[in-house]
């Protein structure tokens, strides 16, 4: 697994830079790695470098001493050069002793090198980007990650340190301020406080992961007619119109929160829910990380890699021999037969079992 460099002692390293330039779900799945570093080196400072949109996720994290935000917003040429100069200068001034890049891209490798850290750990890359490998003092080439939970992929990069890792579950902290903000949002949206809340997250950045809107409408009508619950839909501002279409087509009250929460507020909202029903998306990871049970509909992506761990989490897949194909829809067509053919009747028994397990009251 370690293909360049020798094993390293973590104790005594005073300042660590952890680079995670992935999406929202990737940041959530990085929290076990942050925790492992802090637990095994409690006196060391850990700074996490993220894209700016994800920084709220690490608010209140007890294992993080600082968050560095990389803002990729569009700028004029001079403004862009000034921003990059200031950013890189600020990074070097922190005098990191160790930089760890969790991904296989070139930007994280460059930032690791430019940070000035004497020790730099990253993923081995075996394609034409071999120049990237030279920027690291230590390289890890994990084996058989297709059969691993994705949170473990990040932990694999800590191989040179031979750490004791007892807990591999993602975990997010929700600050008191965010909890108050969530309560205010629920009150403003007139979500009843005397009933448990089920959140539905039907959307993904990739449409080939999505179940149809008509199926969500049928499912919501079924749940609302059978159980005494409040139902809300979460999503981004770009997904608000589609969420509104679902809410307006339902025969019961549905609260559309799409586009009405920041990322930190979404985590706080999901923490107040009794269940999240959705697809393979960032919200699934966030809900699990704040302790909320989940039911996730999987299509072409693999539950082995992406489904939350634990008995409180359930998955639903279509029984087809090609599932999971790990492609962008059938033959990369952006259309997934395994989701197109998954009926509401196949989903309902799993949801009924979970709601009865949780102890939801029936309407009659």
250 in the Ramachandran plot: left (φ > 0), alpha (ψ -120 to 50) or beta? beta
Domain spans, the chain: 2-161, 176-358
Same fold, 2-161 and 176-358: yes
At 125-137, the pLDDT tens digits run 887 667 889 999 9
The predicted pLDDT at position 130 comes to 72
The predicted pLDDT at position 129 comes to 66
Band (pLDDT 50/70/90 cuts) for residue 228 is very high
Compute, in degrees rounded to 10, the torsion defined by CA atoms 155, 159, 162, 163: -10
Domain covering 176-358 assigned CATH 3.40.50.12780 in the classification? no
At 345-358, the pLDDT tens digits run 999 999 999 999 99
Q: Which residue has the higher pLDDT, 305 or 126?
A: 305
Between the alpha carbon of residue 360 and those of residues 193, 196, 355, the distances in Å are: 15, 8, 6
Asked whether residue 235 carries a pLDDT value surpassing 90, the answer given is yes
Strands 45-51 and 15-19: parallel
Q: What's the whole-model pTM score?
A: 0.94
The predicted pLDDT at position 128 comes to 62
> CATH assignment of 2-161?
3.40.50.2000
The predicted pLDDT at position 36 comes to 97
Asked whether residue 364 carries a pLDDT value surpassing 70, the answer given is no
């Amino acid at each position: 697994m370690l293909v360049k460099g020798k094993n390293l002692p973590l104790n005594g390293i005073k300042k660590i830079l952890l680079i995670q330039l992935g999406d929202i779900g990737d940041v959530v799945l990085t929290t076990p790695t942050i925790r492992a570093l802090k637990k095994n080196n409690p006196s060391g400072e850990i700074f996490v470098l993220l894209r700016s949109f994800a920084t709220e996720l690490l608010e209140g994290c007890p294992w993080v001493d600082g968050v560095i935000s990389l803002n990729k917003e569009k700028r004029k040429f001079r403004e862009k050069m000034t921003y990059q100069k200031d950013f890189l200068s600020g990074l070097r001034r922190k005098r990191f002793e160790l930089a760890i890049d969790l991904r296989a891209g070139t930007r994280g490798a460059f930032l690791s090198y430019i940070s000035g850290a004497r020790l730099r750990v990253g993923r081995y890359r075996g394609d034409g980007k071999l120049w990237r490998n030279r920027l690291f003092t230590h390289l890890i080439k994990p084996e058989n990650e297709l059969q691993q939970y994705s949170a473990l992929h990040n932990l694999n990069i800590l191989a040179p340190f031979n750490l004791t890792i007892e807990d591999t579950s993602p975990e997010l902290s929700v600050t008191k301020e965010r909890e108050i903000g969530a309560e205010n949002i629920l009150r403003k949206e007139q979500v009843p406080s005397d009933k448990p809340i089920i959140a539905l997250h039907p959307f993904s950045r990739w449409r080939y992961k999505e179940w149809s809107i008509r199926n969500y409408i049928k499912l919501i009508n079924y749940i609302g007619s059978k159980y005494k619950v409040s139902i809300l839909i979460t999503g981004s501002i770009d997904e608000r119109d589609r969420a509104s279409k679902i809410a307006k087509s339902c025969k019961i009250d549905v609260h559309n929160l799409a586009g009405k929460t920041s990322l930190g507020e979404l985590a706080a909202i999901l923490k107040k829910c009794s269940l999240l029903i959705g697809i393979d998306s960032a919200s699934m990871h966030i809900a699990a990380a704040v302790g909320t049970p989940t039911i996730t509909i999987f299509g072409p992506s693999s539950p082995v890699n992406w489904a939350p761990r634990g008995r409180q989490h359930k998955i639903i897949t279509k029984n087809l021999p090609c599932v999971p194909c790990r492609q962008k829809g059938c033959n990369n067509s952006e259309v997934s037969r395994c989701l197109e053919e998954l009926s509401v009747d196949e989903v309902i028994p799993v949801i009924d079992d979970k709601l009865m397990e949780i102890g939801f009251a029936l309407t009659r």
